[in-house]
Every structure is written in structure tokens, then in C-alpha cells.
Structure 1
Amino acid sequence: MGIVQPDWHYVYQGNGEDLVSVMLQTLAIAFVGTIISAFISIPFAFWAAKRRQRHFSVVSTSGRVILAVVRTFPEIVLAIMFIKAVGPGAFAGVLALGVHSVGMLGKLFAESIEAIDIGPSESIASVGGNAVNGLMFATLPQVLPAFASYSLYRFEISVRSATILGMVGAGGVGTPLLFAIQTRSWSRVGIILIGIIITVTIIDYLSGWLRKQLG
């Protein structure tokens, strides 16, 4: 009956523990975690990107292996590990999402780097430009739109993940949801689930619109 008769009084109470407050905290965890991972993923992406050569590359292969290892740890496992390291709360959730997202974004960023047109870089080199000039004026302008698009997509996923991290003590809406389930407060469970559905739907729509603009 929780969905049918949700606890509307819990939507906003002004005490910092209502639905609006915990959903904003959840979005903040997902946003900060995504921003951190996006910046960290860039050097990993250049490390893991395959060079235009046919023989085996130890450098790119080692980068891909590291990113694959990072992706094997689910966010909730990382959250438990970081809770042990830094204590319960939103900071542990940010670290968990940030580290896990590096594995995914690093791989996608690396694939974007591999797909670029090397013509502009060769043109810069032919007129005396160095590697930094090629990176700044040829490589980054080609890959930054893709980086931004993938980061927005990762933010969508992080919002969903952040909603459950609180169940292990990593902040966000998962904590009150777990407490409501344990106390069998189904009307509270209902309004929290409605809040999650509305928030995720809005974020998906906005992110999809922004990615279309970038594409």
C-alpha cells in the first residue's frame, strides 16, 4: 500500500533529512563522483589507447588491464571498502562511484582517442609543432565532445547507483529507504521510491538531451 498511499509529508520537512534533502545529496554524490572520475580517466585513457602500430604494445595493454581490474569491483563493494577506510557517509559514496567510474570512462575515452583523425596532428608536426601542440590543438578538440557525452552517460548510471549505496552507509537516499523497509513504514518506502523514479527519469531526459546537443 506504500505506493498507493505515500507519505507526502516526508517530501519536505526542512530538517535536512526529508526526501528533497536526501535526493539532493544523492545527486551530489553522483555528480562529484562523475567529475572526479572524468578527470582521472583522461590520463588512463591516453595510457590505454592503442597506438597506430601492428605489433603488441606493453604500454596500452597494461593500461587496459588496469582499467579492466577497476571495472570488476562493483560500486557497492567499493563503498563498503571506503566506509572502512574513511567512515560512513557521502564521502565514501563519492569515492566508490569515482573509482568504479574510472574503469568504464577510461575504456570509453581510450576508444575515442583511437578513433581520431591523425591528419591534424601530422599537419602540426610537419610545420614544427611538438607533441604538446598536437595534443592541445589536434587531439583534444576531437575527443572532448565524446568525453563530455560519455561523462553525462556515466552520470546517469551513477545517479542510479548512488540511490542504493546508502544501504551500506555511503550516504544518499538509500539510508532512509533501508530504514523505512526495516521499520515496515511502507508509506515512507512508497514516497521514497516515487522520488527516485521521478529524479532518475528527469536526469535521464536531461542527460539524453545534452548528449544529443554534443553529438
Structure 2
Amino acid sequence: MKKKNKIFNIIVIILIIVLYIWVISGIHFDGIKPTAKEITKAIFKGLIHPDWSYVYSPDGEDLISGLLDTLAIAALGTVISAVLSIPFAFLATKKIVNLKPVTGLGRFLLEFIRTFPELVLAILFIKAVGPGSFAGVLALGVSSIGMVGKLFSESIDSMDLNAIEALTACGANGAQKIWFAIIPQVLPEFASLTLYRFEINVRSATILGIIGAGGIGTPLIYALQARGWSRVGIILLGIIVMVTIIDLISGFIRKRLV
């Protein structure tokens, strides 16, 4: 057995090495540009000396407005995904629907939705409804269903069945079982998972703006294109502060919920 394990480990190592060689061989490196040194200096100079005047402006074209827009996109997208994920979760769990074709369909739909990245969905929604925050909300709302629905279904699968059996013995119908036995058990876990997805969506919302789906990403890409490194610096600083604060608050709430 030990000899077989050694041979298997050697084969795995060889395959990994071959894979890395294949990946590296596909990278075309044409050398460093002559202006790389000057551009790098300009970038770091702008990041070290951010444009503080961009933090707030009466006309609304400022950092605070962009961050609030990003938060709104992430929050609305998370709410949409959390609501739409609930029927998918119940459809994909064996403890509620004890039919393999039905649960298989529910899991397939969740897997299918997860195959589409936020950026791809954002581009599709931009073509459908036009650029702006609404496209970003729809992209996050739809793309999050796959992950949130899967986590919701796993939460339902791990719950205690004693309460359901007790209600069944009392003659409760399906709706009463869900309302009085299932929801009280899974609601704290659902809330915790929704907050966790909100943290992810905040980061995703900052990226979606780069392709025109609203949020702080839009002024960020404009600043990058114009090489306004001090503007880029203050935007990145604002994103870091916002994400850090949200992570701390969300983590504190999730610990209290679960």
C-alpha cells in the first residue's frame, strides 16, 4: 500500500509540474516597457498623496456619493438574491422535497446560475436595461442566487427534524410545518449567510462600475484612464475603509446570530 501511495504521489507531482509548464509556456512576455519606471513612480506618488478634495462635493460627483451608490447596489442585489433563493433552497433540499427528480432539478438550477460570473451578467443586463446602477443590482441579484440558494439548502438539510415530526403528529399541514418548525430553525442561519453574501457583493459592486454598472467603479475607471493617480488613490482608500467597516460590522452581527 505504501509503495502504491508513493507511485500515486509521484504521478500527481509530475502532472502538476507538467500543468505549470504548460500554463507558463502560454504566457507571452515581451519585456518591460521603457516608461514603466516613470509610470510606477507616478502611481505610487498619487496613491501616497490622494486627492482629498474629491471626498465631498456639493454637486454629488464625489467619493461619498460613489461609495453610497455602491452600498445601495450591493444591498439591493443581496436582498433580491436572498428572497429568490428561498424557493430554490426548499426545492433543492431532500428534507422538504423527497423526490430525486425535483431536488435534482433544484440543484441543477443553482449550479447553472453559479456558472455565470457577475461581470458577464452585468454586461448582459447593461445591454438589456442600459448602463447604470439598475444593471448592477440585477447582475448581483441574479448571480448571488446560485451561492445563497446552495447555502440555504445546506442549512435546511442540517436542521433538526424533531419539531417537524411533532407537528406532523399533531396533524399540521405543510405550510404550518414550514412556518412553525422550519423557519424558526433556519432563519438565523439564513440571516448570517445573507450578511456574508452582502460582504462579497460590496466588493463585486466596486468592480461592476468599471464596465458601466454604476457604483464607485465608474469614477475609478475614468481616473485610471485619465491617469489621475491622486484621484485613484483617494478612491482606493475609500473602498478599503468602506469594505473594512462593513466586514467588521457584519462579522459582529453574524456572531450574534449564529
Q: TM-score range by the shorter chain?
A: over 0.9
1:26 matched residue in structure 2: 70
Query: Counterparts of 1:129-144 in structure 2 under 5 Å?
Result: 129-144=172-187
Which structure has more RCO (C-alpha within 8 Å, separation ≥ 6)? 1
1:40 matched residue in structure 2: 84
Normalization by structure 2: what TM-score? 0.81
Normalization by structure 1: what TM-score? 0.97
| SS in structure 2 of the partner of residue 83 of structure 1 | helix
1:154 matched residue in structure 2: 197
Structure 2 residues not aligned, in runs of 5+: 1-44
Query: Counterparts of 1:25-104 in structure 2 under 5 Å?
Result: 25-51=69-95, 57-104=100-147
Deviation at 1:118, TM superposition (A): 0.9
Matches of 1:12 and 1:105, distance apart in 2: 35
Larger Rg: 2
Deviation at 1:17, TM superposition (A): 1.3
Structure 1 residues not aligned, in runs of 5+: none
Confirm or deny: 8 A CA contact 2:76 2:137 kept in the other structure. yes
Deviation at 1:52, TM superposition (A): 7.8
Deviation at 1:127, TM superposition (A): 1.1
1:206 matched residue in structure 2: 249
2:150 matched residue in structure 1: 107
1:163 matched residue in structure 2: 206
Report percent identity of matched pairs.
61
Matches of 1:74 and 1:149, distance apart in 2: 23
Confirm or deny: 8 A CA contact 1:32 1:94 kept in the other structure. yes
Deviation at 1:15, TM superposition (A): 1.3
Confirm or deny: 8 A CA contact 2:70 2:205 kept in the other structure. yes
Confirm or deny: 8 A CA contact 1:51 1:60 kept in the other structure. no
Confirm or deny: 8 A CA contact 1:97 1:158 kept in the other structure. yes
Deviation at 1:56, TM superposition (A): 7.3
Q: How many residues in Structure 1 have an aligned counterpart in Structure 2? A: 214
1:15 matched residue in structure 2: 59
| SS in structure 2 of the partner of residue 203 of structure 1 | helix
Pick from 227, 230, 236 the counterpart of residue 184 of structure 1.
227
Deviation at 1:3, TM superposition (A): 1.4
The one-letter code of the counterpart of 1:179 is Y
Confirm or deny: 8 A CA contact 2:92 2:106 kept in the other structure. yes
The one-letter code of the counterpart of 2:239 is I
Matches of 1:98 and 1:145, distance apart in 2: 21
RMSD of equivalent CA atoms: 1.3
| SS in structure 1 of the partner of residue 46 of structure 2 | coil
